[in-house]
Amino acid sequence: MKKILLTIAAIALFAVPASAQMFSVWSDAEMTTCENFGAAYTMFPVYLILEPGADGAFAAEYRLSVPASLIVQVTTPAADISVAMGDATNGNGISIGFLNCRVDTEWVYSFTMFPISVDPGFIMVEPNTSTGKLIVATCEEPLRPELAASVYNYFGWHDTCLIGTQESSWGAIKSLMD
């Protein structure tokens, strides 16, 4: 019985929903670099990317946390954002709506960061602190249901980018069955 329960737990741990909504943070819109080891007082760009999943995205709610060593100099929303309520960085978070259903992986916001020091830290996508939600509203009509979103990475400022990984490997779970 123990082996069956552990097998079910392992399958559930690694299962990815068919309609996974994913946020990530990169230094370019092409998603090639997610860290910066630049000099203080030298501005650099950061892009918040949304991968909408199979059901598309009509709205999103999140918070972007920025380390104290970085100041957000310029915030530029994507052209297809029809409404934005809140603050995209730090603060409590933001709720945004798109003009049309998003079906492709694209940037949502771009930021120009101004580093005041080289103290390391991470730019992270987190739940909106006002609502506690990190969600995407899908394009499925008429109700446009909310789906929990995932975070792919933490952008490293003078630290190595952290890519999301499972805390438990299959080998570690399998060893519990022996």
pLDDT tens digits for range 19-74: 579 999 999 999 999 999 999 999 999 999 999 999 999 999 999 999 999 999 99
Handedness of CA 133, 10, 50, 112 (dihedral sign): positive
Say what the pTM is: 0.80
pLDDT tens digits for range 102-112: 999 999 999 99
| Phi, psi for residue 9 in degrees, rounded to 5 | -65, -40
Give bridge partners of residue 50 from the DSSP assignment. Answer: 23, 106
| pLDDT of 8 over the 70 cut | no
pLDDT tens digits for range 116-153: 999 999 999 999 988 899 999 999 888 889 999 999 99
Q: Which two tokens stand for residue 146?
A: 């909310």
| Bigger pLDDT: 52 vs 175 | 52
pLDDT band (50, 70, 90) for residue 165: low
Q: Which element (helix H / strand E) includes 155? A: strand 153-157
Domains in the chain, please, with CATH?
18-164 (2.60.40.680)
pLDDT band (50, 70, 90) for residue 82: very high
How far are the Cα atoms of 23, 27, 28 from residue 109, in angstroms, in the given order?
A: 11, 12, 11
Q: Which element (helix H / strand E) includes 173? A: helix 170-177
**Rounded CA separation 10/14 (Å):** 6
